[in-house]
């Protein structure tokens, strides 16, 4: 992918477009290259923290605090509960894998908030927050 983006950049440079157009397109290509590198780096990082038998499908959210991802739907369980996360625990001062699997992004993010700030899981926080935000199951 990166090789294709770099060849697209060379193609833009050799075109007869104005310098402003070339600069604009090259900046977009540079951002795309940075994004591909970040996704690859995040994927390798997540794989180092989770069970080796789990295959990551997509990284949905990647911040300094949390990385939420989906897994490949290779079983009925993974199809029903595809969302997982890893987060940085300020108490342990290290990255930690979330304890459960989730059906949607909202549940995974709320569970991350619960585990990060309350240092617990399976409390009533997620249920309470979903009711307050009017998120239906």
Q: Could you report the per-residue pLDDT of 1-14, keeping only the tens digit for each? A: 778 888 888 999 99
Query: 121: closest CA among 94, 93, 95, 102?
Result: 102
C-alpha to C-alpha distance for 101 and 77, rounded to whole angstroms: 9
Domain co-membership, 80 together with 41: no
State whether 62 and 35 are in the same domain. Answer: no
42 CB burial (10 A radius; 0-12, 13-18, 19+)? middle
Query: In this structure, are 63 and 127 located in the same domain?
Result: yes
- β-strand 83-89 against 94-97: which pairing, if any? antiparallel
Q: Do residues 56 and 104 both lie within one domain?
A: yes
Q: What is the pLDDT of residues 47-106, one digit of tens each?
A: 888 888 888 999 999 998 999 999 988 888 888 999 999 999 888 889 988 878 989 998
- 3-class DSSP assignment, residue 64: coil
The reported pLDDT for the residue numbered 117 is: 76
DSSP label at 117? I
Q: At what angle do helices 125-132 and 105-113 cross, to 10 degrees?
A: 120
Contact in structure between 98 and 111 (CB atoms under 8 Å): yes
pTM of the predicted structure, to 2 decimals: 0.71
Note the pLDDT tens digit of each residue in 35-46.
888 888 888 889
Domain count along the chain: 2
The span from the CA of 52 to the CA of 32, in Å, is 28
Owning domain of residue 11: 1-49
């Amino acid at each position: 992918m990166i090789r294709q983006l770099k060849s697209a950049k060379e193609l833009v440079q050799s075109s007869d477009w104005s310098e402003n157009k070339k600069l604009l397109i090259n900046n977009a290509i540079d951002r795309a290259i940075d994004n591909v590198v970040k996704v690859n780096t995040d994927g390798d990082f997540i794989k180092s923290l989770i069970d080796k038998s789990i295959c990551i499908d997509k990284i949905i959210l990647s911040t300094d605090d949390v990385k939420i991802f989906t897994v490949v739907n290779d079983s009925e369980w993974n199809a029903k509960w595809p969302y997982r996360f890893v987060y940085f625990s300020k108490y342990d001062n290290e990255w930690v894998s979330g304890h459960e699997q989730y059906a949607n992004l909202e549940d995974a993010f709320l569970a991350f908030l619960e585990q990060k700030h309350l240092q617990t899981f399976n409390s009533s926080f997620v249920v309470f927050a979903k009711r307050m935000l009017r998120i239906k199951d």
